[in-house]
Chain A
């Protein structure tokens, strides 16, 4: 770059997102006086076609050779502006973004200080961009295969979509059957389709698809690499049964010498028992039994007569099986690990785990399911049939003590269960809700239908479920105490059965997988999408996509839509076959390298090699992620990194600090003092007395 820098500065209003807090005209005016700046402009939407055209026209007409855009986070629109530079004939890396939205306008309230800060950030970018050099984007190949983690409805749909596009999929599921939570449901709202009838064909399709390798009882142990070239280690648990031989005839289960079905059946939420050798559930895929080493006498007592082995005509049992690891190479990964139902024991006021006839909605799904523990008969834990049922909404949702978020599906789940309970038991069904959230196609209509079923609706948050009687009508009943906000009374409603509509929580071990994959999470613990609207299934790690409830609570329809979208992203990468390597990777300046090899153990990605003949280190650009560890670690300063040359970084810093002393205090105080509210809340204790 022999030419002197000619810099254009473009300050974005972002509608009013930035301009409401930052005086954008002042920032542009300030930029005009900076060295090498030829033009400085501000515009409502710099990322729009018109905004980009402004930049491109200046490049052509004013002969700009450097551009600074002061707008949002580079995560959002750096690619957009880089493309604009490229199409105007400028190398895309002659751009520098100043983030005056997320790091300025959105977090400050004082206009004057925020404007000063924006000027500082722009000045830093102008100083830096003057030293930018053109960099070449190189392309790397993308492995065509895709890894899908989680075999629930979202994971299955993503796997099938990718497989149907002709790409190979590894589908890894932790349980011994695919199907996920949806396999437990009886019917789905708002159409009352049989859940299994929707899902079973999909499960079979996954198992039989020529492009899908299905590994159940398996977990992702380790993932390394980067977009286009991920390597994953999949740990496969021993099921002590040869998957290729077992046909699921269940003779071994009948023959098992373990006395009684005493082990709580996790699929039935513990409402029934199973033997140590079991089929995960009636319609499990693959239809292959598994042995639970925690209870099988062969493991716990060091041996039994093994009648299971004797009775198996296919010699499928293999008690010598040990866990093993599969290593695979894929181009992208779809994460669809789902949710965990809220643990109702935490909300002690509702008596779950204290009163036997208090159930969670997940338990009721099994209880009313034709293939459930009671074959669909609603028989309570104490053997009775309920005459009156109370359905409590928002258990563990919209509650600052537990999960502050709305779990989105529970209103409809509660309505669906109310309808089914009404239909199957003839009982009086009471619903206790805070707000009815029946948003979505056909959902309000379903609410109206349940209203017409004769289900009773009480609007109010339930205070407690208890078993003490105020009068004889309550003897032997569970009493729901609730403030009925429609009438203004505190009511006591005696029922035989309580259904707690539990919300969705992130999986308790979701952080482990998150760290393995280098994926972020939001404050609630669900995996964070790259951008809620622009990249709703992407993550900040390229080539890793998220779908279904691991990203946040959603119903089956939305999970499937999102899974399709994640699959499309994976297919796009796979079909394109290559991706652009961001030239921020490090390289060794051979003449400065002393061959000390200090850098090699510093590299977390094993990207640095040592060439014996020359005695120098070398960096494999395809493995390098541009983390900078070696650059900082090299004692000879022999490692340079694209876009992060010492000179560029120091220029940026001095640009920033040039504003010091000009009054920028940096303490934009936007803190609003909390309101002093000392009035005790009025407790309606007297109204319980009628």
Chain B
């Protein structure tokens, strides 16, 4: 897939390597739909990484860091060879896996040996030139709140939101945003008129893979987040990671069951809210895909009657 718009002044715009990762093509499809819609509206040129593979994130990294890095190195090499040296990963786990791979290869001779078994030294050096970008980093730094403010055409129809950054985007590298009290998502949303709740749990664990392995533990992590968000007046949570979004969106019924407190609030992706402000169609933003908070979403975005089952 590629995307671009006619360059206004005839110059060739910067092109990004877009690395979706597995979740974006599945449970987090609304993230891809909305991000690419925002890119289309803003005229951002991008090109999906050819023949991309698993990033090697999460569990893989803990079992065998070397093999995990090999996978990421492969993707980074494709980005280098494509000529688009900024690789944008919307998923925080993908971002971190790619970023770690670059860092480890640079820092650890042993890692250079391991990955070097699989690619020539020249390729290993070349990936140092690839810049690993999280979607939030790209939207904030390369586009910026003032550009969004200038392009925003539609007022926010809903209530307050809580900005949820999760852990991997800001730790350990803190390049996407600072690790204590990150603010970039808050600033982008406030720029387009979305009211943001003061909520100190921005980088607290979403439960991660625990929702699959130690289900009750994982669900409780998500519950703590949502309970506090609701208490502080948030009517939706905005995320930048498909795993965060999934854990908070999918298990609200389980939270209700285990705590007796009723939860039904929408969990959105950042570009869904930004895209709405830019005037995008709610379906093009995947706003019909959420599982929880369907009623709220219908009320806010006033789309035709569509069920959550479409996602």
A residues adjacent to B (C-beta < 8 A): 347-349, 351, 354, 464, 466-470, 673-674, 676, 678, 680, 685-686, 689
Q: Kindly identify which residue among A469, A673, A685 contacts B221, using a CB–CB cutoff of 8 Å.
A: A685
Given A680-B62, A685-B221, A689-B220, do A673 and B200 touch, yes or no (CB 8 Å)?
Answer: no
Task: Convert B194-221 into 0s and 1s, putting 1 for each residue whose CB lies closer than 8 angstroms to a CB of A.
Answer: 0000001100010000000010010011
Given A349-B180, A676-B110, do A689 and B217 touch, yes or no (CB 8 Å)?
Answer: yes
Contact present for B180 and A674 (CB under 8 Å): no
Question: Which residues of chain A come closer than 8 Å to B111, judged between CB atoms?
Answer: 676, 678
Closest CB-CB distance, B212 to chain A, in whole Å? 15
Given A673-B109, A680-B61, do A347 and B200 touch, yes or no (CB 8 Å)?
Answer: no
Specify the chain B residue showing the minimal Cβ separation from A467. Answer: B200
Specify the chain B residue showing the minimal Cβ separation from A350. Answer: B180
| B5 beta carbon closer than 8 Å to chain A | no
Interface of A is mostly: loop
Contact present for A354 and B181 (CB under 8 Å): yes
Closest CB-CB distance, A63 to chain B, in whole Å? 57
Which of B61, B104, B181 is the most central at the interface, judged by chain A CB atoms within 10 Å of its CB?
B181
Interface residues in B14-33 (C-beta closer than 8 Å to A): none
- A328 and B228 CA atoms in complex are apart in Å by 64
Which of A348, A349, A468, A469 is the most central at the interface, judged by chain B CB atoms within 10 Å of its CB?
A468
Question: Which residues of chain B come closer than 8 Å to A467, judged between CB atoms?
Answer: 200
**Which 6 residue pairs of A and B lie closest in terms of their CB atoms, listed nearest first?**
A348-B180, A678-B65, A676-B110, A348-B181, A468-B228, A349-B180
Contact present for B220 and A674 (CB under 8 Å): no
Specify the chain B residue showing the minimal Cβ separation from A681. Answer: B172
Specify the chain A residue showing the minimal Cβ separation from B174. Answer: A401
- A155 and B291 CA atoms in complex are apart in Å by 68
Closest CB-CB distance, B250 to chain A, in whole Å? 19
Question: Which residues of chain B come closer than 8 Å to A347, judged between CB atoms?
Answer: 180
Contact present for B224 and A470 (CB under 8 Å): yes
Specify the chain B residue showing the minimal Cβ separation from A465. Answer: B200
| B178 beta carbon closer than 8 Å to chain A | yes
Specify the chain B residue showing the minimal Cβ separation from A680. Answer: B62
Given A348-B178, A349-B180, A354-B181, do A676 and B62 touch, yes or no (CB 8 Å)?
Answer: no
Q: Kindly identify which residue among A348, A470, A676, A685 contacts B108, using a CB–CB cutoff of 8 Å.
A: A676
| B107 beta carbon closer than 8 Å to chain A | yes
Apart from A347-B180, A680-B61, what are 4 other A-B pairs with CB-CB below 8 Å? A351-B200, A354-B181, A467-B200, A468-B231
- A354 and B199 CA atoms in complex are apart in Å by 11
Q: Kindly identify which residue among A348, A674, A689 contacts B107, using a CB–CB cutoff of 8 Å.
A: A674
- A557 and B282 CA atoms in complex are apart in Å by 69
Which of B104, B111, B201, B224 is the most central at the interface, judged by chain A CB atoms within 10 Å of its CB?
B224
Question: Which residues of chain A come closer than 8 Å to B205, judged between CB atoms?
Answer: 685
Q: Can you list 21 pairs linking A and B with CB atoms under 8 Å apart?
A: A347-B180, A348-B178, A348-B180, A351-B200, A354-B181, A354-B200, A468-B200, A468-B201, A468-B231, A469-B228, A674-B107, A674-B108, A676-B109, A678-B65, A678-B108, A678-B111, A680-B62, A685-B221, A686-B214, A686-B217, A689-B217
Specify the chain A residue showing the minimal Cβ separation from B66. Answer: A678
Contact present for B104 and A678 (CB under 8 Å): yes
Question: Which residues of chain A come closer than 8 Å to B221, judged between CB atoms?
Answer: 685
Question: Which residues of chain A come closer than 8 Å to B228, judged between CB atoms?
Answer: 468-469
Question: Which residues of chain B come closer than 8 Å to A685, judged between CB atoms?
Answer: 205, 221
Closest CB-CB distance, A254 to chain B, in whole Å? 41
Interface residues in B54-106 (C-beta closer than 8 Å to A): 61-62, 65, 104
Closest CB-CB distance, B171 to chain A, in whole Å? 10
Question: Which residues of chain B come closer than 8 Å to A678, judged between CB atoms?
Answer: 65, 104, 108, 111
Which of B108, B178, B231 is the most central at the interface, judged by chain A CB atoms within 10 Å of its CB?
B108
